Every structure is written in structure tokens, then in C-alpha cells.
Amino acid sequence: MEIDKAIRESNDRRLKTKYNNAIYVIQRAFALYAFEEIAFSFNGGKDSTVLLHLLRAGYFLHKERPNYSDGGHTNCEMKCPIRTLYFDSPCAFPEINSFTYETAATYDLQLENFRLDFKSGLEALLRENPIRAIFIGTRIGDPNAVGQEQFSPSSPGWPPFMRVNPILDWSYRDIWAFLLTCKVRYCSLYDQGYTSIGSIFDTVPNALLCISDSSTSKENFRPAYLLPDGRLERAGRVKKLSPLDFGDGPFINGPNNVDAHQTHTFMASVIAVGDEILFGTVEDQLGPSLCRKLHSIGWAVSHIAVVRNDIDSVADEVEHRKSFNDILFIYGGVGPLHSDVSIAGVAKAFGVRLAPNEEFEEHLRHLMCDQYTGDRNEMAQLPEGITELLHHENLLVPLIKCQNVIILSATNVIELEKQWDCLIELTSFSGPLVSMAPFVSKSLMTSLSDVETAQPLSKLCLEFPDLCIGCFRKSRVGPLIINFVGKDQDRIDLALQALCKKFNRGAFSEVKCM
Ligand SMILES: Cc1cc2nc3c(=O)[nH]c(=O)nc-3n(C[C@H](O)[C@H](O)[C@H](O)COP(=O)(O)O)c2cc1C
Ligand SMILES: Nc1ncnc2c1ncn2[C@@H]1O[C@H](COP(=O)(O)OP(=O)(O)OP(=O)(O)O)[C@@H](O)[C@H]1O
Ligand SMILES: [Mg+2]
């Protein structure tokens, strides 16, 4: 069988291991379920193309004992008449559509076409025709791979079937090594710079493969297999909104919802991890800096905490804060040292274990070169099932997001600045850090005593519950500064006038710069 032969003859040991593991999963599925009860979810993408050929090889090895005495040349176009599900969509690229249909015909796939969304299509299918297992080309790093294993039952609320993910642990490089080693056809879009293909509305060629021709000012793209860094596979995908990502948080109305922008203020909390800050030997500068940054994009900060380098202290704080805030930032205690417990604390707060994250491991390997200590590198262990890596070309290592917790590796303000800018670029439109209507503020200064101002100010707070009216003084004997913060300039002006009216003219002066 040509696929099996090509891999066996290759010198790529990593590819061989990945291939053997995937074939093992496929054979397990063929042994567990009747052939008629198994389906293959095929959409013409590169991952499902790899899976198709693995299924052909697995089916061949399952059906017949391999016979290499003829050099493996028989069954060159080995068919695999497996039930194949294609969720056809008017938004699919025509190249993807034609590749899917042509490939299905070439290999005798029993194509069942759906013009419905995945869930409704699967519900209709399972009502009519029992299916117990579906092969899917999901890979770690796909947004929907979180929490999945090679055999994962469908999610609650979905019709019941087993999702079989034979290439879950394959990297971008593995995918291309396989397609090129086996010399199989793949969709032509991958030769035009597309590296991951969604709909025509959310997919463009990957800018990292662009070769601009200055003489014609035309843009050309190198083929997908030349992408030097598989971590940026999805750079051509316009990020979609996921209302589930943050439960009732900033996603719920979507970023374009004017109402959400104008009337809501999202809430963030900041957690610093560091015994040194608590000893007073190190001054935390990241917390105040994060507060300013959050304020500048219209977010309110509900709380800053400093906790010890201790898993339970981190876990308690995260657990307590994560449900009351739209986002939590945590920094300090990130790394390979004994005191770096923040990631473990986050895992504990969510009740999940730490598990090796292959994608993250690849980044660390890249970063550390010979210092990297291989599979046992503790830094590559991330909270299982809740971690999403946020990639940006300016970051050597992606940011780690565990549901609504962002783990920052920054240790000083300059590093924080860089991570923040990337985070904003990645998420200010599509979440989690949706930019909100900015805050506006005005400040008044007065030499009136606290006793004189206390009651009128209390009343003012009741009259303007939408504003944050705060007071502070730089010294006990110096002037009192009254700060009005809100999202509506007119309301702030009204509150200022209302306060001034309660006292003699000239009792207050406006402070320009705070
Ligand atoms: C055959 C099949 C089964 C799926 N089963 C589930 C499921 O059990 N739970 C779930 O949340 N999503 C399920 N999905 C949806 C996927 O998680 C994901 O949305 C889909 O692969 C599209 O990825 P995209 O949104 O990146 O295009 C399934 C999709 C397919 C094609
Ligand atoms: N429209 C669809 N019809 C059938 N299966 C689908 C569809 N969309 C996704 N799938 C299944 O989900 C898997 C993951 O989709 P995903 O888009 O991540 O990968 P791909 O399309 O194979 O490759 P690429 O990442 O290059 O787009 C596919 O391999 C396929 O098994
Ligand atoms: Mg795709």
C-alpha cells in the first residue's frame, strides 16, 4: 500500500512515530465499531486530507495482512468505502468544494452531503442512520481541540457518538511532512499561501508567506509547506467571536454591539504572585501599569491582589476572582523554578490537571535550543482542557489564556508593554479584551474641610450612581481632590455643577492634569 510504504521508507523518525500512533488509533476504532457505524468527517482541508490517507492505510492494514514481497505496489489507489460526511456550505471556497468531491470520487468515499450546521446535520444523520464513531482531523492547537483526547465522546448537548482524533498530536510540520512524503494531492489553495482554511469570509492567504513584487506591486504567496513557523498557521484566519469563551462576560453581546460598548463596563482583576513583593524587597510595578492600561481601554479594575508563591494561595485567589470578573490577569511565578507555581495554581482553581502541551513545548524548544530538557520540561505543562495559546509574531512565546485568566510572563514594565500591545492587537475586536468606550474624568480641588464636604458629596454619589466620585488628598493638611470618573462627559459636567452649587463660588477649582 503506497502510503504505508512511503512512510516506512522515509528517514523521518518523528513522522514514523506519529504515523504508527495514528494507525494504531484507527485500527482500534475499526476493531471497536462495525465499519457501517463509523464515519469520516472530510472537508478537503489539509488535516482531513492527511486523515483520509491514514484511514486508507489503516483500512488496508485492518483488512489484509500487509504483503511487502511485491514491493508494496499493489493497491496503489487503495479505496476506502467509508461513510464520509461533508458539511457543504455556500461560504466554502470553490477550490475546497471541488477538491472534496473529486477526492471522494477517486477513493470511493461514500459521501453524505449536508447543507446544515454541524450539530443539526449530525442530529439528522443519527436519527436516520446510526453512527457510533466519527473520525475527525482535529489537532491540538485547533480552538475546538481543547480538552479532547484521541477518543472523546461528543460534547453534552450534541448527539451521542465517539469523536476519534487520530492526528490530535500532529503538528503543522508533521502534516506537511506526511503530505509531501506520501506525494498525495491536496487542495490547490495551500499552494497559494493559505495555511488553514475556513470560509471565504474569514480566510486570507497567510501574510508570512507573502512575496511582494515591487515591479508589478502584485502580491504573491509561497506554498503553505514553506511556512517557517507552524505556530502561525492560523495567521490567515480572521478570528471569530466565541460567545462561549467568557460566559456572561464581554463576549455576550459581541464587539460590534454599540449598546455593550456604551453602557457596560467590563471588570478585570489583577493578581501578582511574589513573596518578594510581600517582603517589601521588590516593588510591584506591573499591577499599577496594568490598571492604567485597562482603564485606558474603558475597563474597570475591581481588585489587585498580591499572593505568595504557593499553589494554594494562587488557586484560592484565582478561584475567588474568576467568577466575578470578566478577565483576570496573573503575573509572577511563571517559569521553571520551584517558586514558579502560578500555572499550577490556575489549574487547581479550575479543577483540572497540568498536562504536556505539545504546541507550547515546540515554542519553548525553539526559544531555548540546546538548553531545552526535552519531554520532561515542566514549563510545557499547562492546565488541561482550558488553555488557549494566543500567538503574535512579536512574541517568542505565546500568551497563555485559561478561560478568562490571562497568564503573563512579563517581569518588568517593558516586557509587559510588549505583551499588552500584542494582546490588544489580537483581541481588542474579538475578545477577550474588547475595547470599550473610554472613561472620561474631571477633577476638582478644594481647601474646604472634610467635615464640610462629606455630606454634600454623599448626596451627590446617590444622585449620580453611574459615576465614580472619589476623593483623595496628598497630605492631611493640603487640599482635597475630588475625582469624577465615568463614561458620559455630560453627566460628569452635571455632577460638577451640582457640587459647585452647594457651596460658595470659588470654593472649587478644576485640576487640569492628574
Ligand atoms: C463531525 C463533527 C463532530 C463534532 N462534534 C462536536 C462536539 O461533540 N462538540 C463540539 O463542541 N463541537 C463539535 N463539532 C464542531 C467542532 O468543534 C468545530 O466547531 C468544527 O470542527 C469547525 O471548526 P472551525 O469552527 O474552526 O471551523 C463537531 C464537528 C464535526 C464536523
Ligand atoms: N465542513 C466540514 N465538513 C466535514 N468535516 C469538517 C468540516 N469542517 C471541519 N471538519 C472536520 O473538522 C476537522 C478540523 O477542521 P480544520 O478546519 O481545523 O482542519 P482542516 O480543514 O482539515 O485543515 P485546515 O486547518 O488547513 O483548514 C477537519 O479535518 C474535519 O475532520
Ligand atoms: Mg479547515
3-state secondary structure 288-307: HHHHHHHHHCCCEEEEEEEE
Q: Please tell me the distance between residue 199's alpha carbon and the centre of ligand 3 in angstroms.
A: 8
**For the structural domain made of 440-511, what CATH number should be given?**
3.30.70.600
Mutate which of 111, 116, 118 to test ligand 1's pocket (most atoms within 8 Å of Cβ)?
A: 118
Q: What is the pLDDT of residue 253?
A: 30
CA 223 from centroid of its chain's CA atoms: 25
Average pLDDT estimate for 387-411: 92
Q: Please tell me the distance between residue 117's alpha carbon and the centre of ligand 1 in angstroms.
A: 10
Q: Is 194 in the pocket of ligand 2 (CB under 6 A)?
A: no
Task: Compute CA distances 498 → 39, 495, 508, whole Å.
Answer: 70, 5, 12
The rounded distance, in Å, linking the Cα atoms of 327 and 313 is 19
Query: At residue 226, does pLDDT exceed 70?
Result: yes
352-384 confidence digits (pLDDT tens): 888 888 888 888 887 777 666 654 566 788 998
Retrieve residue 243's grid coordinates: 460567545
Q: Among residues of the chain, what percentage have pLDDT more than 70?
A: 89
Q: What is the pLDDT of residue 213?
A: 65
- Work out the angle at residue 198's Cα, subtended by the Cα atoms of residues 195 and 204, and round it to the nearest 5 degrees: 55
Point out the ligand nearest to the CA of residue 45.
Answer: 2
Q: What is the pLDDT of residue 130?
A: 86
Question: pLDDT-derived band of residue 434, with 50, 70 and 90 as boundaries?
Answer: confident
Q: Is 175 in the pocket of ligand 2 (CB under 6 A)?
A: no
Query: At residue 438, does pLDDT exceed 50?
Result: yes
Taking Cα atoms as reference points, which of 371, 374, 294, 382 lies closest to residue 345? 382
Taking Cα atoms as reference points, which of 238, 202, 174, 239 lies closest to residue 388? 239
CATH 3.40.309.10 fits 262-426, yes or no: no
Domain map of the chain by residue range?
2-186, 189-241, 262-426, 440-511
Give exposure, 375-404, as e/b (b: 16+ Cβ within 10 Å): eebebbbbbbbbbbbbbbeebebbbbbbbb
Q: Which atom of ligand 2 is nearest to the CA of 49?
A: 22
Query: At residue 32, does pLDDT exceed 90?
Result: yes
Q: Which atom of ligand 2 is nearest to the CA of 85?
A: 4
Question: pLDDT-derived band of residue 77, with 50, 70 and 90 as boundaries?
Answer: low
Burial class (CB in 10 A: 0-12, 13-18, 19+), 48: buried
* Cβ within 8 Å of residue 458, ≥6 positions away: none
Q: What is the DSSP letter of 437?
A: P
Q: What is the pLDDT of residue 429?
A: 66
CA 126 from centroid of its chain's CA atoms: 31
Q: What is the pLDDT of residue 256?
A: 32
Q: What is the pLDDT of residue 13?
A: 92
Point out the ligand nearest to the CA of residue 234.
Answer: 2
Q: Is 234 in the pocket of ligand 2 (CB under 6 A)?
A: no
Q: Please tell me the distance between residue 163's alpha carbon and the centre of ligand 1 in angstroms.
A: 10
Question: pLDDT-derived band of residue 263, with 50, 70 and 90 as boundaries?
Answer: very low
Residue with the smallest CA separation from ligand 2 atom 6 is: 43
Residue with the smallest CA separation from ligand 2 atom 25 is: 196
Q: Is 43 in the pocket of ligand 2 (CB under 6 A)?
A: yes
Question: Looking at per-residue confidence, does 46 or 262 come out higher?
Answer: 46
Dihedral angle of Cα 253, 256, 257, 258, to the nearest 10 degrees? 150
* Cβ within 8 Å of residue 277, ≥6 positions away: 283, 284, 306, 332
Q: Which residues line ligand 1 (CB under 6 A)?
A: 41, 118, 134, 136, 143-144, 154-155, 158, 163, 198
Q: Which atom of ligand 2 is nearest to the CA of 135?
A: 31
Q: What is the pLDDT of residue 362?
A: 83
Q: Please tell me the distance between residue 133's alpha carbon and the centre of ligand 1 in angstroms.
A: 14
162-208 confidence digits (pLDDT tens): 999 999 999 999 999 999 999 999 999 999 999 999 998 889 999 88
Angle between helices 286-296 and 413-427 (to 10 degrees): 30
Quote the mean pLDDT of the chain.
87
Query: At residue 349, does pLDDT exceed 60?
Result: yes
Retrieve residue 197's grid coordinates: 482554511
Q: Which atom of ligand 1 is nearest to the CA of 158?
A: 8
Question: pLDDT-derived band of residue 397, with 50, 70 and 90 as boundaries?
Answer: confident
Query: At residue 26, does pLDDT exceed 60?
Result: yes
Q: Please tell me the distance between residue 36's alpha carbon and the centre of ligand 3 in angstroms.
A: 25
Point out the ligand nearest to the CA of residue 195.
Answer: 2
Classified by CATH at the fold level, domain 2-186 comes out as: Rossmann fold (3.40.50)
Q: What is the pLDDT of residue 122?
A: 93
- Work out the angle at residue 320's Cα, subtended by the Cα atoms of residues 318 and 322, and round it to the nearest 5 degrees: 60
* Contact assessment for residue 410 and residue 354, using Cβ atoms and an 8 Å cutoff: no
Q: Which atom of ligand 1 is nearest to the CA of 152?
A: 8
Rg over alpha carbons for the chain, rounded to the nearest Å, is 28
Question: pLDDT-derived band of residue 246, with 50, 70 and 90 as boundaries?
Answer: very low
Q: What is the pLDDT of residue 264?
A: 56
Length reported for the chain? 514
pTM over 0.80: no
Retrieve residue 151's grid coordinates: 477518543
Residue 268 identity (one-letter amino acid): A
* Contact assessment for residue 300 and residue 268, using Cβ atoms and an 8 Å cutoff: yes
Taking Cα atoms as reference points, which of 404, 406, 470, 417 lies closest to residue 289? 417
Mutate which of 26, 46, 47, 202 to test ligand 2's pocket (most atoms within 8 Å of Cβ)?
A: 47
Of the listed ranges 239-248, 331-340, 478-487, the least confidently predicted one is: 239-248
Average pLDDT estimate for 403-408: 95
* Cβ within 8 Å of residue 297, ≥6 positions away: 424, 428, 433, 435, 436, 438
Q: Please tell me the distance between residue 49's alpha carbon and the centre of ligand 2 in angstroms.
A: 9
SS3 185: coil
Q: Is 47 in the pocket of ligand 2 (CB under 6 A)?
A: yes
Q: Is 165 in the pocket of ligand 2 (CB under 6 A)?
A: no
Residue with the smallest CA separation from ligand 1 atom 10 is: 155
Query: At residue 298, does pLDDT exceed 80?
Result: yes
Mutate which of 26, 40, 46, 48 to test ligand 2's pocket (most atoms within 8 Å of Cβ)?
A: 48
101-125 confidence digits (pLDDT tens): 999 999 999 999 988 889 999 998 8
Q: Is 168 in the pocket of ligand 2 (CB under 6 A)?
A: no
Residue with the smallest CA separation from ligand 1 atom 27 is: 198
ipTM at complex level: 0.96
CB-side exposure of 366: number of CA atoms within 13 Å? 14
